[in-house]
Amino acid sequence: MVDLPSAEHVAMVAVAVLAVIVAWDAYWLTKQRRDVPELGPLAGGGFAWASEGVHEMVRQWGNLGSMAAMMVLPWALLEASNTPIIYAILWDVFLALHLISLLIPKRYAITSTHLFADGQRYPWERLRLAKRQPKRRIMLLRNGWGPFGPLPLGGDSDSLRVAREYIKAMEQARSGEVADESE
């Protein structure tokens, strides 16, 4: 018979993994001001804008609900699994920090080669505009990620309208390049 790891060891690993995820996200968030230093039309072509907390709430509503459920779940299992309470407390602290990071206003930028979002740079050839668009955000899909690939963009309606125009122009230019290459 195989011995399973203790509940305490599993909890320790789960909390450590969550702590690494929170630190990783915090690192990327610190990069956004460096990557997108100015807002509005960009000198080399493109557009940059910033969101506010309420825009990020609209953008991340699904993740926020999932996090709330993830914060409650360990408390129901503590007694049954005989796990020390400190791990549930640490779990909730790290999830709360992650939740806060999701609500921090973000900076976005569209250039001729990349999209800048969440402190990361995405090449246009790895993104596409989703066919069905939500009303109060822009939904891009990361190629090859399947259902795990949505990349929502937040912001006020005027910024999103301008950004949508730039994104459509990028897609048209890219489809024109593909057509030129096939001839």
* Residue 179, pLDDT above cutoff 80: no
Confidence of residue 78 (pLDDT cuts 50, 70, 90): confident
The residue that leads in pLDDT, 181 or 93, is 93
Q: Which of 139, 136, 137 is nearest to 128 (CA)?
A: 139
DSSP secondary-structure letter at 3?
P
- At residue 9, the pLDDT reads 92
Question: Given pLDDT bands bounded at 50, 70 and 90, which one contains residue 39?
Answer: very high
Task: Go through 2-26 and write b for each residue having 16 or more CB atoms within 10 A of its CB, e for each that does not.
Answer: eeeeebeeebbebbeebbeebeebe
Closest CA to 174 of 150, 134, 143, 153: 143
Report, as an integer, the average pLDDT of 77-99: 91
The confidence band for 177, taking pLDDT boundaries of 50, 70 and 90, is low
Q: Are 130 and 150 in contact (CB under 8 A)?
A: yes
pLDDT in tens, 108-161: 999 988 999 988 899 988 998 888 888 888 999 999 888 778 888 989 999 999
Task: Give DSSP secondary structure letters for 39-62.
Answer: -EE-TTS-EEEE--HHHHHHHTHH
pLDDT category of residue 11 using cuts at 50, 70 and 90 = very high
- What average pLDDT is seen over the chain? 87
More confidently predicted of 81 and 148: 81
Q: Is the pLDDT of residue 24 over 60?
A: yes
| pLDDT recorded at residue 98 | 92
Helix (H) or strand (E) holding 35: helix 7-35
**What are the angstrom distances between the C-alpha of 109 and each of 16, 44, 69, 142?**
33, 12, 32, 17
